[in-house]
Amino acid sequence: MKKLAFSLTALLAFGSIAALAAEAPKSVKIDLSNPGPYFTGDGSDAINANCTACHSAEMVLAQPALSRAAWQAEVGKMMKVYKASVDEQDIPAIVEYLSKVRGNGS
Amino acid sequence: MYSLNRRRFLLTASAAATLPKLARAQSSIDLGLPGGNGVHTLTKAGEFGQKSEGLILQRTRAPLLETPMSVFDEGVFTPNDKFYVRWHWADIPDSVDAEAFRLTVRGHTGKTLSLSLRELMALPRFEIAAVNQCSGNSRGFFAPRVPGGEWGNGAMGNARWTGVRLKDLLDHAGVKPGARQVRFNGLDQPTSPDGPDFMKSLTIDHARDGEVMVAYAMNGRPLPLLNGFPLRLVVPGWYATYWVKMLNDIEVLDKEDENFWMKTAYKIPDRSFATMRPDEKDVPVVPISRMLPRSFITNIPAQSRIAATAPVKARGIAFGGDSGVKEVDFSTDDGKSWQTAKLGKDEGTYGFRRWEADFTLPGPGAHTLKVRCTNTRGETQPDQPNWNPSGYMRSVIEATPVEAV
């Protein structure tokens, strides 16, 4: 730490009269406790149980109409890439729900 | 394009000037995406900490908030409380203790630094205006549509960033020979146990270019928490994925960063405009990097009704991507002919530039307005939209259909 302190002094000197008018930093706290909306309607239990630990529902429901295969791939991506702890047994119900509310019929 | 929900306006030269304010009283907005499903509620005051009411609510958790186009009509610097918000993971600290916070600089360096905010703010100050744009800004306009955050055109903003040059921090830590990349990490954490922590890297040369910086203020004020308080990386001219928020760790690497967010995510087709056909397979990909020129009309929403044969003023914003704005052209006939727009003050190479053009529509009926930016590298926005499966880097000349009456 002694070395660090010395170096900082050196850096400050190098910065010379560097605008020291900087206002003292103030701590910040905001409320991020709103979980946002969940999925609603028939068949939403599985998707709520497995998916909403990480995100609220809006962005999913704002997706373009996707095929069942595309929804299957999205669920797979959440599991493989983002390591979402989705219960394997719930996958069909999740894909079914997504295909119902944001499916394109294929 | 952007349109006000269930409203049409008769635009005259004077009405155009006051139009954007009307948007604020509404509770929802239709982004007018191809294939629909682009209606979003607008945020309420206090709903997202320091962010204002009237932002486009794309997702509550992890927050995705879009800036309405009307905000860009108000000036070239996007107010902090209206600046868009984008987080990958929802585990975001809801508070930061300004006294306890430390920024670490470590790794392939002579020494490790642990800097308080006070220490950082006492270092030589650097300031730059720069556009921060999400890689997927305008994804909702892709055709065919692609999955992802279905943004309109408001996942971008311009601010004057104040802080310290990354180069100064790295020089101080003493980069050892053989350094390859510099990796940046913030206080946000994955919400799944083994999920990949969000980190991004730049090459050592880029990191030391004297423009990449660590910002503690935007537009002269501390960063809003949701824009990365207390520190965020600023990478002028490059997409926002590199602008790591709540930055608390800088690690010099002596090898290529293989973390998920560099190696796998945020890849684009290795072609100009990052484009490919939807049916193409095995297209070579590279990490997304520099931005391209774009321009927007900010005072005339799509589907506006405009008085025919009366003079009207169009105005908006343009940016050059990773270089300055050389020229902005405006068209009232769907791009068949162009007039040179008048440019506003140059606030910096990487920032928004205001443009203005006077026009008179020849007669009643449907017309298509277009605006086109050419940057100082000589790159011009293309006529045809790009496509890639991730919905990155839209930069096509935008069209605004209007009706003259």
B114, pLDDT greater than 50:
yes
pLDDT for A79 equals 97
pLDDT for B26 equals 83
Chain B hits for A63, Cβ within 8 Å? 37, 147, 150
Does A8 sit within 8 Å of B117, measured CB to CB?
A: no
DSSP character string of B251-286: EEESS---SHHHHTSSEEESSGGG---TT--S--EE
- The SS3 call for residue B86 is strand
Model confidence pLDDT, tens digit, residues B284-313 = 999 999 999 999 999 999 999 999 999 999
Model confidence pLDDT, tens digit, residues B211-224 = 999 999 999 999 99
Model confidence pLDDT, tens digit, residues A44-95 = 999 999 999 999 999 999 999 999 999 999 999 999 999 999 999 999 999 9
Share of chain A above pLDDT 70, in %: 78
The domain locations on chain A are 44-102
Q: Which of residues 27-46 of A touch B (CB under 8 A)?
A: 27-37
B142, pLDDT greater than 50:
yes
Quick one: which of B266, B237, B246 has its CA closest to B132?
B237
- Asked if A14 reaches chain B (Cβ–Cβ under 8 Å), the answer is yes
What is the DSSP code (8-state) at residue B372? E
Query: Tokens standing for B103?
Result: 């920024």
Mutation target to probe the A interface, by most A beta carbons within 10 A, among B48, B59, B260, B263 is B59
The CATH classification number of B294-404 equals 2.60.40.650
What is the DSSP code (8-state) at residue A16? T
Number of separate helices (H) and strands (E) present in chain B: 6, 28
Chain A hits for B390, Cβ within 8 Å? none
pLDDT for A25 equals 84
The DSSP H or E segment spanning B81 is none
A14, pLDDT greater than 90:
no
pLDDT band at residue B380 using 50, 70 and 90 as cut-offs: very high
A32, pLDDT greater than 50:
yes
Asked if residue B109 lies in contact with residue B361, where contact means CB atoms within 8 angstroms, the answer is: no
Tell me, which fold does domain B1-265 have in CATH? Sulfite Oxidase; Chain A, domain 2 (3.90.420)
- Asked if A76 reaches chain B (Cβ–Cβ under 8 Å), the answer is no
Token pair 């944001």: residue: A102
**Packing angle between helix B166-173 and helix A2-15, nearest 10 degrees?**
140
Q: In chain B, how long is the greatest CA-to-CA distance?
A: 71
A8, pLDDT greater than 60:
no
Asked if residue B214 lies in contact with residue B167, where contact means CB atoms within 8 angstroms, the answer is: no
Note the ipTM here: 0.91
Cα A63 to Cα A14, B33, B38, B299, distances in angstroms: 53, 11, 9, 28
Quick one: which of B172, B163, B288 has its CA closest to B232?
B163
B11, pLDDT greater than 70:
no
Model confidence pLDDT, tens digit, residues B231-259 = 999 999 999 999 999 999 999 999 999 99
- Specify the CATH superfamily of domain A44-102: Cytochrome c-like domain (1.10.760.10)
Query: Is the backbone peptide bond immediately before B318 cis, with ω within 30 degrees of 0?
Result: no
Share of chain B above pLDDT 70, in %: 94
pLDDT for A23 equals 62
The domain locations on chain B are 1-265, 294-404
Quick one: which of B162, B137, B173, B167 has its CA closest to B232?
B162
Asked if residue B296 lies in contact with residue B153, where contact means CB atoms within 8 angstroms, the answer is: yes
Model confidence pLDDT, tens digit, residues B34-52 = 999 999 999 999 999 999 9
Token pair 């690690």: residue: B251
What is the DSSP code (8-state) at residue B138? T
The DSSP H or E segment spanning A75 is helix A68-80
Chain A hits for B64, Cβ within 8 Å? 59
A35, pLDDT greater than 90:
yes
B323, pLDDT greater than 60:
yes
How far apart CA B161 and CA B140 sit, in angstroms, is: 28
pLDDT for B1 equals 40
User: Which candidate from A26, A56, A62 shows the least CB-CB separation from B61?
Assistant: A56
A1, pLDDT greater than 60:
no
Buried b (16+ CB within 10 A) or exposed e, B27-66: eebbbbbeeebbebebbeeebbbbbbebbbbbbbbbbbbb
pLDDT for A19 equals 41
Chain B hits for A56, Cβ within 8 Å? 59-61
How far apart CA B231 and CA B235 sit, in angstroms, is: 13
DSSP character string of B40-65: EEBPPTTTTTT--TT-EEEETTTTEE
The DSSP H or E segment spanning B76 is none
| Residue B26 zone, left/alpha/beta (φ > 0; ψ -120 to 50; rest) | beta
Give the minimum alpha-carbon distance from A88 to chain B in angstroms, rounded to a whole number.
16
User: Which candidate from B58, B230, B264 shows the least CB-CB separation from A58?
Assistant: B58
